[in-house]
Amino acid sequence: MSKLVVVDHPLIDHKLSIIRNKETGTRLFRQAVNEVGGLMAYEITRDLPTKEISVTTPITSTTCKVLAKEVVIVPILRAGIGMVEGIQILIPTAKVGHIGMYRDEETMEPHEYYAKFPKELPESSVLIVDPMLATGGSLDAAINAVKSRGAKDIRFVGLVGAPEGVKRIQRLHPDVDIYLAALDEKLNEVGYIVPGLGDCGDRLFGTK
Ligand code: PRP
Ligand code: URA
């Protein structure tokens, strides 16, 4: 079974309280989502493989470690975009692939409407990013999309997850570790995470 890591940090807790608050406006919401993405990046990348290189300092030659593989960040559109910049602050060389997915509000089934990935995807460490892991349908489809293009080393980064979605991904993709800022209580009858933060895409982009 894959690993579930709920990243525990006072700054993440503090920013989550801003994100969850329904009175928080678009600008502050977007800023806090990005900042949590950045704080999580440190933990998510902890076990990335490194390789040794030789470096000449102003004093002498020494051996240093650098990332062994490229990193590709794959936000699930739209809401995933909200965490990308924060992660890129720590990994500025990361390439970005995009996958467009929306949930049918009646059936909760995901529908893919866009996909574009860098050619390095198969040999890269892939970080799929989406603030919300609810039923897990969108993430399952996104993982299948990158796997079908050759990706093998895949992690998921989210803000808030529901136990239902976590279980589904762990069952279907035991090779994909899950990193969340919070594991919430449940889904409600219309598939929203409780207590959650509402519709993340709408709150990020001011569409409601
Ligand atoms: C939201 C969210 C996830 C998905 C999670 O996207 O950003 O992609 O729902 O739900 P699931 O786990 O049940 O699939 P939404 O479909 O609202 O699209 P948007 O990001 O464009 O608003
Ligand atoms: N998508 C959201 O934006 N919020 C939820 O609570 C569930 C899915």
153 burial via Cβ count (<10 Å: 0-12, 13-18, 19+): middle
pLDDT at 1: 82
**Residue minimizing CA distance to atom 7 of ligand 2:** 192
Taking the centre of ligand 1 as the mean of its atom positions, its distance from the CA of residue 94, in whole angstroms, is 24
Question: What are 129's strand-pairing partners?
Answer: 75, 157
pLDDT in tens, 62-95: 999 999 999 999 999 999 999 999 999 999 999 9
Q: State whether the beta carbon of 134 lies less than 6 angstroms from ligand 2.
A: yes
Annotated active-site residue 13? The verdict is: no
* Portion of the chain with pLDDT greater than 70, in percent: 100
> Each residue of 94-107: b (16+ CB within 10 Å) or e?
bbbbbbbbebeeee
Residues constituting the chain: 208
Of 24, 103, 149, 153, the catalytic one is: 103
C-alpha to C-alpha distance for 108 and 33, rounded to whole angstroms = 24
| pLDDT over 90 (residue 108) | no
pLDDT in tens, 135-185: 999 999 999 999 999 999 999 999 999 999 999 999 999 999 999 999 999
Question: What are 138's strand-pairing partners?
Answer: none
C-alpha to C-alpha distance for 50 and 15, rounded to whole angstroms = 31
Annotated active-site residue 93? The verdict is: no
pLDDT at 65: 98
pLDDT at 103: 84
Annotated active-site residue 153? The verdict is: no
> Each residue of 188-198: b (16+ CB within 10 Å) or e?
eeebbbeebbb
The ligand 2 atom nearest the CA atom of 187: 6
Q: What is the mean pLDDT of residues 30-52?
A: 95
Which pTM does this prediction carry? 0.95
pLDDT at 105: 83
Residues 6+ apart with CB under 8 A from 96: 72, 73, 74, 75, 84, 88, 118
Q: What is the mean pLDDT of residues 97-109?
A: 90
The ligand 1 atom nearest the CA atom of 136: 12
**How high does pLDDT run on average in the chain?**
96
Annotated active-site residue 199? The verdict is: yes
For residue 150, what is the DSSP state?
Answer: T
| pLDDT over 90 (residue 112) | yes
Q: State whether the beta carbon of 193 lies less than 6 angstroms from ligand 2.
A: yes
| pLDDT over 90 (residue 35) | yes
